[in-house]
Amino acid sequence: MSTETLRRAEGRRFAPRIGGDVAGLLALLAAVVVLLGVAAPGFLSLSTFTSVAFQLPELGLLSLAMLMPIISGGFNLAITFTANLSGLAMAFVLQSQGGVDAGLGAIAAGVLAALATGAFVGWLMGTIIAYTGAHPILVSLSTMIFVRGLGEFLTRGGDISGVPGYVQAVGQGTVGGIPAPLLVFAAAVLLWAVVLSRSRLGFATRMIGSNIEATRFSGVPTRRSLTLIYMLSGLMCGIAGIVMLARFNSVRVGHGESYLLITVLACFLGRVDPFGGFGRVLPVAIALVILQVIASGLNQLGASQHLSTALWGGFLLLIMVVRSVWASRFLQVMFGKR
């Protein structure tokens, strides 16, 4: 079977699910907004939605970094620490060039350092996974431990603070009334949507997640594709690290450790197949908005951070159970399986 035939078959396989995913998530978003608006009288306000718009991008960028590995049938447990290490790389460059007084040249060099750091960590993971056959969870877990230890060694367990105003504007400023980090996230969503739906790598990502051996026999360079998938995941972590550094005016190794669970939750809520083979960017982006709105609502209701984390875990279990039940019933209806 030719590659073009496989591409057309994949298109037919996924086409019926396009409308339902987005419509269902938008309906869920509307229901969540209404319920929280009733439960928390001050929820439906401009300040709430402005807060959501500023908090969403860093989590969203990390979710995009998680998306491609999951579609390929893998996982990247090192996303948060890769982002922090990338932020540290940029902070080191800025500190060496005057800190808050660093010029545009130093800022550009810092951005390149952050992107290169994230891409290198992702490339290292992808290379090991592709050429040794090691399980992505084990490789990314080992990478997470290594990156975290390296970051703590470089910072001695502390943080680095103080960045130029131009950098702070990326995380705290607005453009035409729209938060700057939200514009960065929107551009990243558009880029990832094009990569996954219009490029050979996006096609290869879905095929590898469906059946890597069949994909290899069809002529797709699976090793190179896997390496690129994880390198792009690391690159997105680098972008997330820049935004996090700009937003908080500081960076440390352990920042955003709880984001890992929420990125997985966002992917699964956005109908990404946990076993690989299917997933789209737009449903995941809408799922992120839902989760961020829920987080803001819980905060206004006075829920503790620990309770919120417990709720995210319970929500993830609920999604997996619902999807499992739905899949089994679908098989019964379509094929008469019991």
Q: Give the contacts of 209 (CB within 8 A, at least 6 positions apart).
A: 70, 71, 72, 73, 273, 275, 276, 277, 278
Q: What is the 3-state secondary structure (H, E, C) of 255-273?
A: CCCCHHHHHHHHHHHCCCC
Q: pTM of the full predicted structure? A: 0.86
Q: CA nearest 76: which of 132, 129, 154?
A: 129
pLDDT at 17: 45
Task: Please tell me which residue, 258 or 200, carries the higher pLDDT value.
Answer: 200
- CA–CA separation, 35 vs 291, rounded Å? 14
Q: Are 109 and 306 in contact (CB under 8 A)?
A: no
Which residues in the chain belong to E strands, given as ranges?
159-161, 174-175, 178-179, 250-252
pLDDT above 50 (res 11): no
Q: Picking from 129-143, 231-245, 250-264, 274-288, which range would have the lowest pLDDT averaged per residue?
A: 250-264
Token look-up 């008469």 returns 336
Angle at 37 between CA 31 and CA 39, to 5 degrees: 100
**pLDDT tens figures, 31-50:** 888 888 888 777 888 888 88
∠ CA 47-248-112, nearest 5°, is: 125
pLDDT tens for each residue of 180-189? 999 999 999 9
pLDDT single digits (tens) 294-334: 888 888 877 776 677 777 777 777 777 776 666 565 445 55
**31-35, 102-106, 222-226, 274-278 — most confident range:** 222-226
- In single-letter form, the type of residue at position 295 comes to A
